[in-house]
Structure formats: structure tokens, C-alpha cells
Amino acid sequence: MGLMMIDVSVVVPVYNEEECVDALCTKLHESLSNLGRSYEIILVDDGSRDGTWARLKEWTGKIPNLRIIRFRRNFGQTAAMSAGFHKSRGRIVITLDADLQNDPADIPKLLENMDDNVDVVSGWRKDRKDPFINRRLPSMLANSLISRITGVALHDYGCTLKAYRREVIEKVHLYGEMHRFIPALASWVGGDIKEVVVNHHARQFGKSKYGISRTFRVVLDLITVKFLLRYSMGPMQIFGKIGGLFAVPALLMMAVVAADRIFGWNDPYLLKRPFWLLTPLMLLTFCIQFIGLGLLAEMQIRTYHESQDKPIYVIREAAESAV
């Protein structure tokens, strides 16, 4: 790629966090400057509508190794993290939220736990400082569901504070709300995952960008992740199985009708019920439709793997530390 590699990149999506910027930059600088490793801080402004960008530009003249990126509009947290990954140069990439509920002081702990056998270190907010009904309870249910469906058991998929080895994160392509599923996607490409307890603080400034309305999008992306993990290289297998579920009862019903005609049973129930004639035809039609979808999906997958990557964000401007 022609870029000079460094030890650690910290990627932070930022959206309407003007009040948090000063404390965030201060805490990141304090935590990283004492690591004894080369590092960079990448703050991605996801189309903020307040004074976030102006405040970020001020900090490029105050601390070293700070790089800031500004989107033309709000593309979402996944896109912001993806942009940070693309622009980063670190052998290890760490992500965290900008609202300081994640503690930058936990960064050394993540690095200490990333030994030669670990590719992803995921934070676990064991003592979470959020309301139970509308934040913690939905999160607990979601974590259980995601762990069961993906086969990668974690207590806290929603914790942004995570560390990734570059060779793993480079193989993961993000879109939608996929950022929360990165550990599962990393496991799919052969990454080994470790979970560690991290601090969690109550929000001090602004208001949360998350809500229950986001749950539905997460569920849809979870279905997508499950498909990618199991059937992305052979979608015909899932569509073919669904088609088979329609074909089996259709063939059984047709066999009963055929036996009635062959053996001369002349069962009045079968003769007077169009259900036994029309239903098998409908079921076979569904079967053919699903097999056809499978064939189309197979062709789409071939096109996907052969096509060029398209960006999921547009950058307005960028800047780096002047100190």
C-alpha cells in the first residue's frame, strides 16, 4: 500500500459530540502517549451538524499523531469505522465510542491481551451504566441471539471498545449496521477472539444516538450475517432446501391422487376436493421459484466476488496534526 506501518491506530466515529471532543482528545492522548509504541488517532466526523468539526480542527494543533476525517453527510457508524480502517496504518486497530462511555484508559488492557494467538480483543461492559429497560435488557437479549445465531459467544457485541489485528480487519467488508458483528465476521475469516472486562461510564454530555428503533435494522443485518457466514459461497443450498420443503408435500399429495386413479379406489373425498389437485401444483410452483432464486443468487455471488469494491461513504475533507 506504500504506507509506513505503525504499532497502533485508534479509530473513533464522532457525530454531534462537540461537548465531548476536548475530554476525548485529552484522554486519548494521555492513554496513548504512555504506551511506548508508535500510534495514531483517527477521528471520523460522520457529518456532524454542530461545532464538532471546528473543535476537532483545533485539536490538530494541540496534540501529535491526530488525523481527522469529515464526511459530506451522515453515513452512519459503520461507514465511519470503515473509513477509519481504510485510512489507518496500525498493525493493531482499536475502536471506541466518542461519548466517553468507553474509557480510553482501557486501551493498554486490550493491547496486553492481544498476544500471538489472539486476533480480536472485545470489550465487555460487565458493570454497564445505562438504563435497564430501554438499553441493557434489549442488549442482553440481542447478545444472546447474536451469539446463538453466529456461533461466536460474546457477552457484549454492542461494546465498540475492541482491538483488531490488521490482517483480520482487512478481510472484513462493512455496510449497514455490520460494525457490531465484526467479531463474528472476523471469526469467519479465521480470527481468534478474546473477551475482557472494561470500564463503562454514564454519559456526561449530549444524548445517546441509539434507540429501540435501531433494533429492527440490527435484526435484519443479523439475518444477513448468518447468510454470509454459512451460505455466501453457495446460496443455492439455502434456497434449494426451502424449495425442497415445498416439493416433498407436493409429491406426496400427487402420489396419493395417482394411487387413487391407478388402483381404482375412487375415493369420493379425493374426487370432490380440488384441494388435492391444485395444492400440489401451487407447492411445486413455489419450489421452482425458490430454486430459481437460488440460481439468481449464485450468479449474483459470482458478480459480487468479481466486481470492484464500492465505497459506502464520501469524504468532504481531512486534516492531520500540525505538532
Read off the pTM: 0.75
Task: Give residues with Cβ within 8 angstroms of 82, minimum separation 6.
Answer: 174, 175, 179, 312, 313
Max CA distance (Å), the chain:
95
Residues of the chain with pLDDT > 70, as a percent, come to 80
What distance in Å separates the CA atoms of residue 284 and residue 179, rounded to the nearest whole number? 40
Task: Give residues with Cβ within 8 angstroms of 75, minimum separation 6.
Answer: 46, 47, 312, 313, 314
Instruction: Enumerate the domain spans of the chain.
Output: 6-232, 236-306
CA separation (Å) from 15 to 37, 105, 302?
A: 28, 22, 36
Query: CA 5, 6, 8, 9 torsion: positive or negative?
Result: negative
With 90 as the cut, is the pLDDT of residue 50 above it? yes
* CATH architecture entry for 6-232: Alpha-Beta Complex (3.90)
pLDDT by residue (tens digit) across 14-43?
999 999 999 999 999 999 999 999 999 999
3-class secondary structure, 35: coil
pLDDT by residue (tens digit) across 52-62?
999 999 999 99
Looking at residue 1, what is its pLDDT? 42
- 9-13, 169-173, 271-275: which range is least confident on average? 271-275
Q: Highest mean pLDDT: which of 61-75, 163-177, 283-297? A: 61-75
With 90 as the cut, is the pLDDT of residue 265 above it? no
CA separation (Å) from 59 to 32, 67, 77?
A: 15, 10, 22
pLDDT by residue (tens digit) across 194-253?
999 999 988 776 666 555 556 666 666 677 677 766 666 566 667 777 888 888 888 888
| C-alpha grid cell, residue 191 | 480470527
Q: 200 - beta bridge partners?
A: 102
Q: Which of 35, 183, 195 is nearest to 114 (CA)?
A: 195
pLDDT by residue (tens digit) across 114-124?
977 899 999 99
